Chain A
C-alpha cells in the first residue's frame, strides 16, 4: 500500500542527491542541473501532500505550477549569466571564478 511516507522518502532522497550535486559539481551548468533536481524533489513533496493531506484544496498542485514557472525563469537567467562567464573566462568551472589573492 503506498503511503505518504514513500513519496516523502523518495523526495528526500532526490533532494539529497541534488544537494550533493550542488556541492560537488565543477561545471556551472552541472550545478544548475542539480538545482533542477532540487526543484523536482520539492515538487514531488508538494504534490504528495496535496493528495494525502488536503485533496480538496489542491493548493499543492497549484504551487507546483508556480514552482515550475519560476524554475524556468531562473534557468533562463542563470544560463545567461553562465554565458557571460564563459565569455570572460573561456570556461565554466566555478572554481575558476575567483579573484581572491590566493
Chain B
C-alpha cells in the first residue's frame, strides 16, 4: 500500500517536473518560463522528500525558490523588452539540439540499465537533519567555510559588477 502510494506520488511529481521543465525551455514569454521554473523547483523538493531528504527539501524551497527565482524575476523585469511576435525565443539550433539530446538520453538510459548498482539494504538512521548537521561541522567543516566565502565573494562581486557608474 505504501509502495503503491509512493509510486503514484513519484509519477505525479515526475510528470510535473518534466512538464514544467519543458515549459521552461520552450515558452516564448520568459516570465511564464520563470513561473514554470518555480513549479519545477517545488516538484523537485517533493522528490527530495520522497527520498527521505527533508532538510535538503527545505533548503531547496528556501534558497532556490525563495531567493534564486526571485532574483531571476527581478532580472527579467529589469531586462524587459518590447515583446514582438518576430522575437523568437529559440534559435536555429533546435533540430540538432533535439537530436543530440535524444542521443544523450538514449545513451544515458542504456548505461543506467546496464549498470548493477550496489544497493545498500540499510535505511537512513534517524532524521537526516541531525546527520547533516553533524557531518557539516565535523568532517566537512572546511568546505562549509569555503563555500560561505564563495557566497560572500560572489554576492559582493555581483553588486560591484552591476553597479551603475
Chain A positions near chain B (C-beta within 8 angstroms): 1-10, 12-21, 23-27, 29-30, 32-34, 36-37, 40, 43-44, 47-48, 50-56, 58-59, 61-62, 64-66, 68-77, 79-84, 86, 90-92, 95
In angstroms, Cα B119 to Cα A52, docked, is 6
What are the residues of chain B within 8 A of A10 when measuring CB–CB? Answer: 14, 17-18, 47
What are the residues of chain A within 8 A of B113 when measuring CB–CB? Answer: 5
Instruction: Tell me whether B56 and A65 are in contact (CB under 8 A).
Output: yes
- Provide 14 A-B residue pairs closer than 8 Å at the C-beta atoms, listed in order of the A residue: A13-B18, A16-B108, A17-B25, A24-B97, A29-B30, A52-B117, A53-B118, A58-B124, A61-B128, A79-B71, A79-B162, A83-B78, A86-B79, A95-B91
Known: A27-B30, A68-B60, A80-B162. A58 touches B150 (CB 8 A): no
Q: Mark B132-162, 1 if CB is under 8 A from A, else 0.
A: 1001100010010001101101110111011
In angstroms, Cα B46 to Cα A101, docked, is 49
If over half of B's interface residues share one DSSP class (helix, strand or loop), that class is named, otherwise mixed; here it is helix
Instruction: Tell me whether B123 and A55 are in contact (CB under 8 A).
Output: yes
What are the residues of chain A within 8 A of B76 when measuring CB–CB? Answer: 29
Which one of A6, A9, A76 contacts B158 once the chains associate, using CB atoms below 8 Å? A76
Instruction: Tell me whether A53 and B120 are in contact (CB under 8 A).
Output: yes
Interface size on B, residues (CB 8 A): 86
Instruction: Tell me whether B104 and A27 are in contact (CB under 8 A).
Output: no
What are the residues of chain A within 8 A of B41 when measuring CB–CB? Answer: 36, 40
